[in-house]
């Protein structure tokens, strides 16, 4: 099986090797440690939400936490996959493919934000490296303020 690790993908392929491909496929797209911790903290504040749900039924994109009645969508973005200005490091292998993928993710994030805002939603985005308790506090404040009708922060 060690020959898989030596196999080089053809030019234009999405992964530089079979081992790299397996590694990248194993990365979680949901239920990451930062997401689980923030969800637990928000839940402890008495707030209930949907996990990995579509805020808008006709938009094929999911938020990490959705508070439907308050119209708040929360995203906890990974530093690598969403191009964190503080922590993103371009890949050394197959850099063209991965850099373009991250750029597409960032563009999709901005498009999602615009679509949700146009539909009356408040979009909250946090980086995975931000302190979880601070994120949970911001989420709770935003949801509670929208529930009580003071829609400041839109």
State the average pLDDT over residues 140-145: 98
- Does residue 135 register a pLDDT over 60? yes
> pLDDT digit string (tens) for 61-108?
999 999 999 999 999 999 999 999 999 988 888 888 889 999 999 999
CA torsion angle for 124, 125, 131, 134 (degrees, to 10)? Answer: -10
Residue 145 tokens read as 């303020």
pLDDT digits (tens, 9 = 90+) for 99-134: 999 999 999 999 999 999 999 999 999 999 999 999
Within the chain, residue ranges assigned H as helices are 2-6, 18-25, 33-44, 95-118, 132-147
Give percent of the chain above pLDDT 70: 78
* Reported pTM: 0.79
- Categorize the per-residue pLDDT at 23 as very low, low, confident or very high, splitting at 50, 70 and 90: low
Domains defined along the chain, listed by start: 28-147 (3.40.960.10)
At residue 65, the pLDDT reads 98
Neighbour-count burial of 92, counting CB atoms closer than 10 A to its CB (0-12 exposed, 13-18 middle, 19+ buried): exposed
CA distance to 46, 80, 135, per residue, from 98 (Å): 40, 10, 28
Do 140 and 48 form a contact (C-beta atoms < 8 A)?
no
Look at residues 89, 79, 90 and name the one whose alpha carbon lies nearest to residue 126. 79
Mean pLDDT value across the chain:
85
- Which of 130, 111, 127, 30 lies closest to 78 in space, CA to CA? 127
Q: How far is C-alpha 126 from the geometric centre of its chain's CA atoms?
A: 8
């Amino acid at each position: 099986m060690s020959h898989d690790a030596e196999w080089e993908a053809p030019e234009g392929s999405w992964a530089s090797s079979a081992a790299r491909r397996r590694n990248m496929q194993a990365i979680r797209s949901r239920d990451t440690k930062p997401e689980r911790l923030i969800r637990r903290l928000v839940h402890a504040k008495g707030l209930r939400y949907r996990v990995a749900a579509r805020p808008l039924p006709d938009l094929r994109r999911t938020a990490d936490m959705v508070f439907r009645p308050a119209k708040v969508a929360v995203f906890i973005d990974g530093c690598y996959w969403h191009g964190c200005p503080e922590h993103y490091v371009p890949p050394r292998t197959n850099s063209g493919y991965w850099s373009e993928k991250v750029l597409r993710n960032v563009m999709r994030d901005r498009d999602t934000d615009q679509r949700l805002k146009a539909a009356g939603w408040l979009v909250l985005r946090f980086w995975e490296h931000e302190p979880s308790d601070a994120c949970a506090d911001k989420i709770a404040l935003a949801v509670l303020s929208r529930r009580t009708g003071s829609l400041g922060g839109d």
